[in-house]
Structures are given as C-alpha cells and as structure tokens.
Structure 1
Amino acid sequence: MYIKQAFNVLHEWWRYLVGFIIIFLASQIGSIPFIIAVMFKVVANGGDIETIQDPNVMMTILDSNLTLFLMLLSFALGLVATYFVVKYFHKQPFVELTTSRKKTDWGRVFFGFGLIAITTIVVTGLDYYNNPEDYVLQFDLVPFLILAVIAIVMIPMQTSFEEYLFRGYLMQGLGVVTKTKWIPLIVTSVIFGALHLANPEVDKLGNIIMIYYIGTGFFLGIMTLMDEGLELALGFHAGNNLIAALLVTADWTVFKTNSVLKDISEPSAGFDVIAPVLILYPIFLLIMAWRYKWTDWGGKLFGKVEEPVVIAEENNQNSNYIE
C-alpha cells in the first residue's frame, strides 16, 4: 500500500518533523528573490517600503509575468528540498513517495490533467458564451507566450511540491506514526486548505471559500488513498492551476496573469463556490473509480496501516538485543 511502504525506510516520527521544517525553510528561502525584487522596484520609484507590507499589494508592483515566476520559485525550491529530504534523510526512493507501483504511471498523470483541463475549458467556454459581458478578451501574443513558458515550466513544480508535501510526505509520515489512514487524510486536507487563507480570494469571497480549499484537499487525498499513489493528484492539480493561469484571470485572484480572458464580473460567495466540492468532485471520483476499478473504499480510507510483520519482528529483536 502507498502509506505502508514507508515502513521500509527510515520513518521515525522525529525525522518527519525535522524533514518538514527543512522543507518549509527551503520554501521560505525561495521567496526571498521576490521580496528583494519588489523592494528594489519600490525604492527605485521613490516609494515607501512600508506600503508593501500587504501581500496583495506586493503582487501588483512588478510585471505580472515576473511576479508569477518569482512567486513560484519558492515552490520549486521546496520541491527540490523535498526530494533531498526523502532521498537522503529517509533513505527512500522518490518513486515510493510517488506511488505504490514499481514506477510512475504517467498515463494516470495525464488522465488527471486532461479530466480537469477539459472540464475547465468547457465550463469557461459555456460561461463566456452565455455571459460575454462578464469577460474581457485581453489576449496579447508576446506577453501570453512569455506567460505560457513560465506557467508550463513553473506551475507543475508548484503543484507537484504541494502534492508531494501534503498527499505524499505528510500523508505517509502521519500514516506510519498514527497507523491510520483517516487521520492523515483529515490533517493534511485541513492544513492544505488553511494555507490558502492568505489568498486574495478569501478577502473577496469570505471564509466560505475555505469549504472549497479544504474540500479540494479531501478530494486529492481520497484520490491518492484510493489509487495507492500520487499520479492522479499530480496531474489533476497541475491541470487545474495551469489552465486557470492561461485561460482566465481576475483582479481578485492569486494568479493575476496575461491570460486569454479577464473576468470582470463581481464574484458572489454563493452555491457556485461550493458546487465543485458537492457536485464535480464526486463525479470525478466516480469516473476515476470506474476507470481504475477502485474497490474497498472503507478499508482504503479508514483502515489501519499495519507495520509489516517481518519489519516488526526485526525491530523487536533489535530492541531485545539492545536491552
């Protein structure tokens, strides 16, 4: 099983705590270039540095493409740190953080990507057709091509970092420590959602948007546990963020990009905010369950994570020898 295989490597609880701290610090170091660039621009224009204490204001200082690139650097560095922590601190092959299969199933990655990409394009196209007054066509070839290069390279790093950290590293770590599946599912989903509290969407729509963020965490976690690997979650998350960055933007979203469309409508914190969690996500899970023949939902989501018998016996022998 995906979580259970972590028993085969160095999996003491303190390793996951130290590893998480290392990964967190690395991601924070990755945000320094963005902060320096913003401060340099403000000072060069004769502005007051105190005026950029608001993160949402910082996002508007630089060119949007440069902002996106620098903002995503922290995730790229976090992904690199995750790789080294797993490989050298836990002595775990990175493929075992990716999947319980012998090698990464790229077909699953592309299926998850395509599922959300096609859905997003179709839904956005229908909304544009029915409510053209809510959008502005802002396509500009050169800025868009620069955006496309940055997004295609950097956004998968951002989404992969989040998946490897939450549905991978923390899911396995909490799983082997608590020997449960539901505890890591709940904890990683809530933390994943809570980290989006700083997004401008929360200020605009209110705390109801947290239902979407936490619900998305549960959706990706369920997907990972049922499929015994990260492949579907990696593809889905990358497809969601990449298509969103390229297709449509708004002044109140975290990704303010040179996308094809700009949404100028006044957003409402109504049913449409939680509709993906209540309607789309269950449909997506049913499609994946049908395609990949998922069974034993109760066991895979709420069952115990038992340490392999051979490993347990070896640990007991080692303990007796030490005594």
Structure 2
Amino acid sequence: MYIEQLKNKKETLIKYLPFPLVFFLFMGFNYIATLASETNTNEMIQMMIDSLGKNIVFAIMVLPLAALCVILLLWVKFFHKQSITSLTTARQKIDYKRVFFSFFLWAAILVTVILVQYFVSPDDFVINFKLAPFLVLLVLALILIPLQTSFEEYLFRGYLMQGLGLLTKNKWFPLLFTSITFGLMHIANPEVGAFGLQMMVFYIGTGLFLGIITLMDDGLELALGFHAANNLVAAILVTSNNSALQTNAIFEQVSTENSMTEIYIQVFVVFPILIFFFAKKYKWNDWKNKLTGKI
C-alpha cells in the first residue's frame, strides 16, 4: 500500500520536520506580510505586471515552487535514502499511463467547459490572444507548471502523507491534515480576497479529492496528471483579474458572477463523479481500509 511503504523503515518524525516546517513558516510569513500590507494581493500583482509584464511575473511566481520540486526530490533521495518511485507509487515503477490519462481527461473536461461558457455567454470573456507573448507563456508554462504542481503533490500527497502515516499509524489523519493544509496554503491568493473564505471550499475540497484518489489508487500518478492539467489549462486558456496567475492566456474572463456556483458544482458534483469513474476504471475496492484503516 502506498502510505504504508515506509512502515518498516527506520524513520522518525524529527527527520520529516525540517522541510515542511521551513516551507510552512515561509508561507505563514508571506500571509502575515500580506495582511500587514496596505496593498492587497491583487493590487501587488497588478503593480508587478505593470512594471515587468505578465510573462516575467508568471515566471517569478511559479519558478520558486518549480525549484522546490527538484529540491524536495533530492532531499528525499539523499536525506531519507528513499527512491523517487516509492515516494510516487506503491507499484514497481511509476505508471505514466495513469499520469497522462488523468491529465488529458481533466484537460479535455476543462477546455470543453470553458469553450461552452464562451459560446453561451461571450460577453463574459474577451479574447486576449497575442501570438508572441502567448508563445513565450506556452514555453514557460509547459516547463514550469508540471514542476510546480508536482511539488505540491509530492509535498502534500507524498512526503507529508507518508510521514504522517508513520507518526499516527492511520490513514484518515494524513488525508484530512494534508487536505486542510493544502487549502490553507492558498489562503493569500487573490481569489480568496475576491470571493472570501468560501474559496477554501474549493482548495480544501480539491486537496481532499486528490488525497482520496492517491490513497485509493496506491500512488500519486492520477493526482499528478490532474493537478498539472488544471493549472496548465488555467494558465494558457483563460485568465482573470482575480486569478493568482494572471497570464497572456487566450481568453480573459471579465465576469465572475457565477464563479462560486461553478466551484460548488465542481467540488460536490464533478469530483465525486471523477472518483466514481476512476474507481470503475482501476477497480478500486476496500475503501474503508484504504482511507481510514490503520498502518
């Protein structure tokens, strides 16, 4: 089982503390600094864009997390003496077919929904496409976003979930803790400033969804593909002034009137349907033990 792979390894909580502790302290400091500032997050991002341009600001915001992905994998390999494969999956080798299946499935759903929204309510969007800036964005996004999203998956659904499993000897606490902390990591995002703390429903709900499919599938592959597709489509297809990643995307959404309704539908309807679909495709069983059982 994925979360149980380290059961017989001589690991201690102390060894698992440094990396997430430094990361969470940095995120906490960033959030406090944001609250203390007279300028809100959205205004700060806009000031940076006015000064540097969207592509450079995009790189500045995504590059640190992309670099942290490499650092985390090296930390696991050389400090914990754990293979990247065992951090990723309980299978003998990483199943890239699962990664790409999840990626293209969610990308296709998102693209379809966005295009339907555009044709049904064209006044809610403006075409933002400019060839040269878009091509630069595309190259940056294809390189940096898979690393950025992989860092979040490896940290929350991988490193922390396995480490907390060692500590608590159960699966329900790592699942809930990583889902909540994943949501809280996004609390300083402009979307939260625009729509309020109800946006936490989306971030924590997404974390819970990704945690469930990781535990049920005994690996990160589906979560890695889903998360990469989600952020990549958001970066290159549609942007808005309330987005954490304001890019040279093809469309700009100028009306967010129905955004929270769409988010509730995604969390409470679409995610359960996806879990059901994955369960049928990959023949998941023993739900109670995999999600709440002891280690």
TM-score scaled by structure 1? 0.84
Matched, 1:249 2:239: yes
Whether 1:7 and 2:7 are equivalent positions in the alignment is: yes
1:260 to 244, 247, 250: 250
Partner of 1:19: 19
SS at match of 1:6: coil
**Which residue of 2 is the match for residue 115 of structure 1?**
105
Which has the higher mean CA deviation after the structures are superposed, 1-10 or 226-235?
1-10
Contact 2:42 2:241 in 1 (8 A): no
1:58 equivalent in alignment to 2:48: no
Aligned length: 284
The corresponding residue for 1:43 is: none
The structural deviation recorded for 1:53 is 5.7
1:8 is displaced (CA, Å) by 4.0
Give the distance between the partners of 2:57 and 2:257, measured in 1 at CA.
Answer: 24
1:254 to 1:96, Cα distance in 2 relative to 1, 3 A: same
Cα offsets for 1:110-158 (capped at 9, x unmatched): 0110111000011011111100111101111111000000000000111
Distance 2:38 2:10 in 1: 43
- The CA deviation at 1:20 is 2.2
Within-5 A mapping of 1:1-323:
1-21=1-21, 54-60=40-46, 61=48, 62-268=52-258, 270-305=260-295
Structure 2 unaligned regions, length at least 5: 31-35
Give the secondary structure class of the aligned counterpart of 2:205.
helix
Shift of the 212–140 alpha-carbon distance from structure 1 to 2, 3 Å rule, reads same
Residues 74 and 52 of structure 1, relative CA distance in 2, 3 Å threshold: farther
Work out which of the two has the higher radius of gyration on C-alpha atoms and give 1 or 2. 1
* Deviation of 1:56 (Å): 2.8
Moved more, 91-100 or 50-59: 50-59
- How far residue 3 of structure 1 moved from its aligned partner, in angstroms, is 1.1
Which stretch shows the higher mean deviation, 68-77 or 167-176?
Answer: 68-77
Conserved? CA contact 1:205–1:268, under 8 Å: no
Post-superposition offset of 1:270:
4.1
Identity %: 47
Higher RCO (C-alpha under 8 Å, 6+ residues apart):
2
Aligned equivalents of 1:162, 1:86: Cα separation in 2: 14
Three-state SS of the structure 2 residue aligned to 1:262 is: strand
- Point out 4+ residue stretches in structure 1 off by more than 6 angstroms: none
Cα contact 2:42–2:242 (8 A) shared by 1: no
**Is contact 1:23–1:78 with CA below 8 Å preserved after alignment?**
no
**Could you tell me which amino acid in structure 1 is paired with residue 70 of structure 2?**
V
User: SS of the residue aligned with 1:208?
Assistant: helix
CA RMSD of aligned residues (A): 1.9
- In the alignment, which residue of structure 2 is the partner of 1:317? none
Q: Label 1:160 to 1:52 Cα distance change in 2 as closer, same or farther (>3 A).
A: farther
